[in-house]
Structure 1
Amino acid sequence: MGRMVTLVETGEMKPMMTYVCFIRHGETDWNKEIRFQGQTDIPLSETGVEQAKFLAEYLKDHTISAIYSSDLKRARQTAELIAAKHGLAVRATPEFRERSAGEWEGLTLSEIKEKYPDWEQIRFTGGAYGIEPVEQLKKRMLGGVEALVEKHQGEHIYIVAHGMCINAVLHVLTGGEYGIGKTRLHNTSMTRLSYEKEAGWKLLGINETPHLNAKKEMYS
């Protein structure tokens, strides 16, 4: 499956083009505290629930063929609010779980900077302190996404996941132009792509938050 992506203006979809929309989960208390979550199973905060509700309302008239999510609470809760508007069940998928942050889970960014002098390098490569290597993250994320594209050809797939996971996909598909170390994704933001066998991947939008445009205080 070809992986180099082209950034295009949104246009009419071809019949056999598969649409993939990644959504970052809503805010958690640890997001607000700039505390590394990794695979620690933190639920949405009150603000995160509100963000997800706004997104669910925005998407209620959009075509959604299937909704997948990470198996962590913050992603599942976000996905369930969207799915309820469409009468769909959320398919929780371990491949879309956040990257393990090892020893850093539960620590704030300032605590990590103080305790780990090499934090900046390790943050974007992993492989130390129990942190999942970035290349391993890319492999499992792309494997999961490509399996869904094969399964849902010509359909509209929504995947609720995590910032680092979505950025791992972007990094691979854009050859490093976007993604890890370059792209910030807000809570409940949408990142949209399409795939067609001959044309390959196309990037339709990154970090889109139209449902929060009038609510800047809810950005995270």
Structure 2
Amino acid sequence: MTELMLIRHGQTTWNREGRYSGQTDIPLSEEGLRQAQQLAERLQGQSFLAIYSSDLLRAKQTAEPIARATGAPLYFDPRLREINQGEWEGTLFEDIRRRFLDLWQHRLQNPHIAAPPGGETVGQVRERVLEALEEILQAHPKGRVAIVAHGLVLALILIHARDEPLERVWDRIPANAQPQTLHLEAP
């Protein structure tokens, strides 16, 4: 059985402002950099077989100090990127709700088929994330591994592990830089 530590990247300015980040490659805010450093200090000396991270900058800036503090090898995987929010990226959540209420509600209720214009469905993201997760579990059937990624990516792993319906994904998005631990078997 693999012990997985799931870590959402530190805070970004867009997180604080309530904007859709998606795959826009934005850095951590000063607060996010502080969160990443504090987490690395908390994890210093702990043993990980590997750390897998999204290749987006905010995840890298969170994963790199953890890798240095623990001495674990760090691998970047684009399948762990956040959902592509298409035309909604950079837009305030409230503006989207106000301007596209019907599509926004449809997406909440039907995440497997509804997407913002030019973006991905949650179902599409789930396919790539679970493919990456399966490879990680097969590569490390025993021991401890960390995944540093994004809110929706980690929520998808959580609902998969708990055998919850896809519609619950919105309720499972973790806080920035707050690790959660799971135990999973390789398929």
Superposition TM-score, scaled by structure 2 size: 0.90
Letter in 1 for 2:154: I
Counterpart pick for 2:42 among 58, 67, 77: 58
8 Å contact from structure 2 (residues 3, 142) kept in 1:
yes
Q: Which ranges of structure 2 fall in alignment gaps of 5 or more residues?
A: none
Structure 1 residue 107, shift from structure 2 partner: 0.2
**Structure 2 residue 94 is matched with structure 1 residue 110:** yes
Query: Identity of paired residues, percent?
Result: 39
Distance 1:62 1:135 in 2: 34
Greater shift, 68-77 or 114-123, is seen at 114-123
Larger Rg: 1
Counterpart pick for 1:86 among 70, 76, 80: 70
Q: Which ranges of structure 1 fall in alignment gaps of 5 or more residues?
A: 1-16, 201-220
Greater shift, 188-197 or 33-42, is seen at 188-197
Partner of 2:31: 47
Partner of 2:177: 188
Letter in 2 for 1:107: T
Distance 2:65 2:105 in 1: 35
8 Å contact from structure 2 (residues 85, 116) kept in 1:
no
Letter in 1 for 2:153: C
8 Å contact from structure 1 (residues 80, 89) kept in 2:
no
Q: Going by fraction, where is helix more abundant, 1 or 2? A: 2
Distance 1:43 1:116 in 2: 28
Structure 1 residue 123, shift from structure 2 partner: 4.5
Partner of 1:36: 20
Letter in 2 for 1:104: W
Partner of 1:176: 164
8 Å contact from structure 1 (residues 76, 90) kept in 2:
no
Letter in 1 for 2:183: S
Structure 1 residue 183, shift from structure 2 partner: 2.3
8 Å contact from structure 2 (residues 108, 170) kept in 1:
no
Structure 1 residue 90, shift from structure 2 partner: 2.2
* Number of residue pairs the alignment of both structures matches: 182
In the TM superposition, structure 1's runs of 4+ consecutive aligned residues that sit over 3 Å from their partners are none
Partner of 1:68: 52
Letter in 1 for 2:139: K
Partner of 1:140: 128
Counterpart pick for 1:163 among 151, 161, 169: 151
Task: Supply the RMSD in Å over aligned alpha carbons.
Answer: 1.8
Shift of the 99–192 alpha-carbon distance from structure 1 to 2, 3 Å rule, reads: same
Structure 1 residue 185, shift from structure 2 partner: 1.2
Q: Deviations over 1:92-132 (max 9, x none)?
A: 10010000001110100111112112213224613341221
Greater shift, 107-116 or 66-75, is seen at 107-116
Structure 1 residue 182, shift from structure 2 partner: 1.7
Distance 2:67 2:121 in 1: 32
